[in-house]
Structure 1
Amino acid sequence: MPTARLSHGDWEGAKMYKVDIQPDTKEATAIEARRNQEKQRQSRIFNTRYRTMGVDVEGLKSQVEERKLRENAEKQRDEAFDAHRIQYDKIAQMLEDEEQQRKRQLHKALVEFHQQEQEPATRREWDLQDPAALRKGQPARVSDDDPRCGPASMQCFAGEDMNGAARQKLLKEKNRRDLEEQRAEREKALADRKYADTLEDKKRIELDLRALELARLEEECRRAKAMAVADFNRAQAAECVEQQRLAQQREQDNNYTEIYNHLTGDILTENPDMARSLVGPHRMVPYLWKGMSPEQVEAVRRTQKEQCKENQRLREEERQREAEWDRQRHLAARAGMVMEEEVQNFHLQLRKSQDAYNQELAEAQKAHLQHLEKEVYTNTPTAQYHLQFNTSTR
């Protein structure tokens, strides 16, 4: 719905009566769009990096080239996929044609098999479908005992028993044979039961005799085993007594031999050769060594005296060397003190000259600042002057 515009008088009247007037939607939208454009322009202009460097044309070109290369690669890949898809479709079509051909051949072979091996005359339902069934069939009734004539066949009626006498004779004969067979079976069952009872009695007697024989044999085996165990125990006891006697004799002989070995051994006789170690001729076994001989003691004392003289000579040389080092250190310390005094004097002179030069620089800088403040910077800008910059893009 269009918005009504107010004249100058209406606007004054509206302000007089404080009427709420809705602003124009299109105008407000346009103002907001201009404000957004101004903000975007300010963000571009006030961005120092974008303003000084500009747009990377080479980078854009390289991106375009990369996009073209990527599109070409994707196009080539799609073409390759399409070629593979077409090839696979052809292969699938060929396989489908082969499958259809195989099905047709199988159907053809099945039809030929039905025609050759499964003729209508060999079917189970041919009796119902044979057109010559009436010519091949038999009459409805051959005799009274025709098995095809049942109770509901309406072919055999009461009072028409043609074979009644023969049937009665056959029935009596059959009953007689059944009775003879039953009597023979009963007699045979009695004879079998009597024979089985006789066999069971004989088997029970045989088992009893065998149990008695086994009991007798077991008793004899038990007596023989007891006698064998008793003989074995007596033999074991005699063997144990003999072994104990031999062990005591052997232990006594070993004790005598050990005592003799100790009495005649190198330990009690203190043989010095036993203390020599197998590691070297100058090594001794501690638990076998019985002390040094007088010649060894004299040799040790001579060696100690020589070592004392050698130690005195080494101490004298060490004392002389220490004295020489002390003299060298003293001379080096004196030379270092002299050099340190010279360095301190040099640093003092350098500090004095640097202070004088800094004083001259300070006076020159002070005079330069006074010149700038009094003659050059006569109109100093205020904070309001700096705030007027970078407020608009126009």
Structure 2
Amino acid sequence: IDKDVLDTQVKDRKIQEAAEKARNEELANEMKQNDKIMCMLEERQKNDIRNINKAISEFQKNFQKPETRREFDLSDPQALKKDRPARLSDSDPRCTVSGLQKFMGEDLNYDQRMKFQKEQLREWSLQQQRDWKNALANQKFADDLYDKNRIELDQKTMAQQRKEEENRRAVCAATKDFNRTQAAELAERKKLEKYQKMKDDMDEISSLLRGDLLSENPEQAVSSFGRHRVITDRWKGMNQDQLMAIRYTQQQQVLEKLRLKEEERRKDAEWDRQSIQAARAQLLLERHQQRQNRERRRALDNLNAELSQEQKSKNIYLKEEAYSNFPTDQYYAQFNTTSR
């Protein structure tokens, strides 16, 4: 096992882990910063919405009261208490035509009515101007507050970004220095490896030139199990003595093979001769047996003819002489005469 290579691999692995850890920490810090910025933006938006709602509520509370509305008299709960009698005087504006209390064309309160209307219009105009000025003032105050908060948040964000940029530059500088050191070490290691490889190659070439393989030394092929055995990957071939011995052995083998073939041929001829003699003897024996069988058959036929003639003569005797008389009563009376 090459310990230097293992140490180098372990060192490279640690370097990779350190770089990965630094990158992960940088990403984590960036994510934290982004979260902070998002939180600050959300908080600023909430504050803006809260301030706007508060300003609207204040404006409605101060300048949009229910009693200032034109149609408030239609839903005023104190309308009956505030209501006046049906008629206060002849100049009462509530005296309509249908009441037959005031007729068209009289207009006795024209000057007073016109003065009142002008005064009322002036009051309405002044009230609208005051409402508009107050609304503008509130809007300006809200805008100023929003701008102030936004400027503060932007300043904090820029400061945080500058800090992150400085940290990033420091990390990049450290990484560059580390990479430069690693590159120098790698170049030096490659140089040493190249020198060692060249030295090993030269040693190997020198060993091969001086070795038994290229010099074709026959002793290198001798096996440790005996000189009659060789190592096949080192054997360079046989010498002339070995070749002559092999050729002589081959000639002896050829002569021995011819002798064996001649001996086998003689054996085959002897076997053929003996087979022919055995077949001839077998044929003679079969012919002798056939003659004996014919003689025995002829004698048996003669014997059977004599026996047949005797059988015929006996049958004629029995039929004509022995069985020609019938039994009498005296013959039957001799049976069943005792208790046995």
Q: Is the pair's TM-score, using the shorter chain for normalization, greater than 0.5?
A: no
Normalising by structure 2, what TM-score? Answer: 0.36
Normalising by structure 1, what TM-score? Answer: 0.32
- Relative contact order (alpha carbons < 8 A, sep ≥ 6): 1 or 2 greater? 1
**CA radius of gyration, larger in:** 2
